[in-house]
Amino acid sequence: MSLFEYSPAPESRAVVGIAESYGLFIDGRMVDPRDGTRFKTISPSTEEVLADVAEAGERDVDAAVRAARSAYTRVWSKTSGRERGKYLFRIARLVQDRARELAVLETLDNGKPIRETRDVDIPLVAAHFFYHAGWADKLGHAGLGPHPRPHGVAAQVIPWNFPLLMLAWKVAPALAAGNTVVLKPAETTPLTALAFAEICQQADLPPGVVNVVTGAGQTGRLLVEHPGVDKVAFTGSTEVGRLIAASVAGTAKKATLELGGKAANIVFDDAPIDQAVEGIVRGVFFNQGHVCCAGTRLLVQESVVDEVIASLKHRLATLRLGDPMDKNTDIGAINSAVQLRRIRELSDVGEAEGATRWSPECTLPARGFWFAPTVFTGVAQTHRIAREEIFGPVLSVLTFRTPDEALAKANNTPYGLSAGVWTEKGSRILWMAQHLRAGVVWANTFNHFDPTSPFGGYKESGYGREGGRHGLAAYLVPDETVEVS
Ligand code: NDP
């Protein structure tokens, strides 16, 4: 029995006005889809219908790409870096002004806890626009020669796990570099992208510089395959990433792909265990585990495994699962019924393969999509739960004896997005970081994000970087008159 009970601390929904239906944002205006097709977006924590959203078909995508091309040719390519920077600063400030509303909207549409949208997603969205606003008039110092050029029209397809943040990761560098954009948000989380369209209007961004076409996978396919697109940026599954890579192969389109992961979070026996346990929790239970760089494979040195597991179970028993709008909530709803089914299936496979399954006692709400935080011990490298991306609050625990063994196990994956190392020994951190095949390596922390720091993967986790100077480079053509280092 707990020593005390929490009183509910619900965030108010009154700060956000959700329209009954939404159109597509093309050439600076909200317009109806040409063939009239629509779908519903629901709140995953209650299954309540939030709004009716337009599904962009071929003619809509074509209109959006044409609007982006025309805005590029007529306005944006002729707008100075300093002016573009002003628009980005304006957008960043509007995001801050509307932060509470955006956090509530994201929580309603995505199911993630308000504590995370309020303290992580939305502040990072503003930070990305501020950071890239600063770059807009300094592109000649990005290491790509004195006069790097934009590509032109960027097609951007994003997933549902960090809807507005993924938009910011894509739109901010594209605009700073002088490209125009057609963005497709995920089918289950279109609302914050549509609120962002409104912010573009408020910021007086020239019509057509940003266009938002909502829809499902087919809309994304139409967009990336459109011949009027110069650059494709995608975040999502490795499966769809492969289709996109195949579709742009042999064309002049540039592409960056940020795909799946199966990160190792490695705990050595000299690590401060309490801190490491916090890092493990943050690594895999943050955002219900819907995180491509989540530390889903916990590698613990054999001599401390019992202590780490005991401490982890104790900590997990204190996590609060439930209403994402409650400020006390740590674990919100799974984003969709489809995703919940995937998590359940793979977890059942884990049990069938012989791993031991454990979850803290917690009551799941009757409506909505929910999955209790889950830990598998006794996991072997060959198990599917140690190899496949589950994209849910599920941790697989493996053990190792030596640093070499830890490294070999950590790198034994088709992915290579991120990794974590927990140890007091600085030289070991450096050695591990040098040898881990992962785009991001966190030392004595996990899941820290910063717009100045490049993020991206190796192997089946995709190619290209987002954030920092490297991320900016993906939206620029180097100046051919100089040798680029
Ligand atoms: P997808 O890769 O299908 O979705 C990502 C985005 O791509 C969405 O906007 C989606 O549209 C769109 N899309 C789907 N098919 C195509 C296509 N053929 N051409 C262009 N765009 C397309 O991921 P899911 O949402 O289906 O999730 C499946 C699995 O992918 C998860 O279980 C997880 O393992 C992984 N995933 C990884 C992410 C990451 O950040 N690395 C993010 C999301 C998922 P729509 O949503 O409308 O279908």
Question: pLDDT tens track of the chain, all 485 residues?
Answer: 456 788 999 999 999 999 999 999 999 999 999 998 999 999 999 999 999 999 999 999 999 999 999 999 999 999 999 999 999 999 999 999 999 999 999 999 999 999 999 999 999 999 999 999 999 999 999 999 999 999 999 999 999 999 999 999 999 999 999 999 999 999 999 999 999 999 999 999 999 999 999 999 999 999 999 999 999 999 999 999 999 999 999 999 999 999 999 999 999 999 999 999 999 999 999 999 999 999 999 999 999 999 999 999 999 999 999 999 999 999 999 999 999 999 999 999 999 999 999 999 989 999 999 999 999 999 999 999 999 999 999 999 999 999 999 999 999 999 999 999 999 999 999 999 999 999 999 999 999 999 999 999 999 999 999 999 999 999 999 987 655 54
| Alpha helices (runs of H) in 185-304, residue ranges in sequence order | 191-202, 217-225, 238-248, 273-285
Task: Determine the distance separating the centroid of ligand 1 and the alpha carbon of 299, expressed in angstroms.
Answer: 28
279 lines ligand 1 (CB under 6 A): no
Task: Determine the distance separating the centroid of ligand 1 and the alpha carbon of 49, expressed in angstroms.
Answer: 22
d(CA 162, CA 464): 19
Please check whether residue 263 is in contact with residue 438, taking contact to mean a CB–CB distance below 8 angstroms: yes
CB contact set of 426 (below 8 Å; sequence gap of 6+): none
pTM for the full predicted model: 0.97
259 lines ligand 1 (CB under 6 A): yes
d(CA 144, CA 89): 23
List the structure tokens of 467: 């954030």
What are the catalytic residues? Answer: 258, 292
245 lines ligand 1 (CB under 6 A): no
